[in-house]
Amino acid sequence: MIQSRRGEFYGQTNKIINLEGIILTDTVYTHDKVDWHYHENAYFTFILEGSVIEGNKKETYNCSAGSLLFHNWEEPHYNIKPEGLTRGFHIEIEKNWFHKLEFNAADLEGSNYLDSLNLKFLMYKIFWETKLHDSTTPLSIQVLLLESLAQMQQHDKIKSIKKPAWVSEVKMILNDQFSDNLTLEYLSQSLNIHPVHLSRDFSKYFNSGLGEYIRKLKVEKALQLISEKKLDLTAIAHECGFSDQSHFTRCFKAVNGINPSLHRKILSR
């Protein structure tokens, strides 16, 4: 089986940044298929544009823009790239980085598809830092990466908790209808639980309040649409359920720290 060395991904490398124990790579994938292989280092893959199919010994993932994967070191997997542009952002972490910071990586084993909204937004922030690339970038990336790993461990703990049926039901409703004008009454009736119960317990399973979570879903969808480069920002605001472009810009900046026009500009660099 092929072993990929540090900074080695299968495509055209747009940019690579080497920090102490961390390697960040922005790559356009050029191989239609990459057979079974593994990487020397643990790493995140964050799909910036396009799509890719990735499989490991347990599962196969259909990854579109905004999808986030984590592989521990020497975890075998394969990739299939559909037609069209696919661009991935990778964050490799060397073992000595974990050891130096006394971070316990024992819980990070295997290959995982990460669906945490907070984790995805942290990945965008790390990507933006690589485009600034000033004297503060190494510190900012290290802090954001540590926060990402801590969030990942917290997310895994939440996933392991036995959840009531309404948790998966409300997640499906919100993912399908986030752009609608959802009300607490509608959600509680759909789930057959009391509004107070839903309001009180939602954050326990989603690490976010109900209203905040819906806004994050809207922003996540906007990020995907921006990557497709088909719609202008006004159309994206409408598609994602924002009342107007001003409301869209405020929410986007509140979640991400930058406005959507700047994100579009950074993505095209």
Instruction: Determine the pLDDT at residue 7.
Output: 81
pTM above 0.85, yes or no: yes
Q: Tell whether the model's pLDDT for residue 109 goes beyond 70.
A: no
Cα distances (angstroms) measured from residue 200 to each of 188, 209, 268: 12, 9, 41
pLDDT digits (tens, 9 = 90+) for 113-133: 999 999 999 999 999 999 988
Burial class (CB in 10 A: 0-12, 13-18, 19+), 6: middle
Instruction: Determine the pLDDT at residue 86.
Output: 96
Q: Tell whether the model's pLDDT for residue 90 goes beyond 80.
A: yes
Q: How much is the average pLDDT of 26-38? A: 93
Instruction: Determine the pLDDT at residue 258.
Output: 94
DSSP-derived 3-state class of residue 119: helix
Reported as a pLDDT band with limits 50, 70 and 90, residue 16 is very high
Reported as a pLDDT band with limits 50, 70 and 90, residue 52 is very high
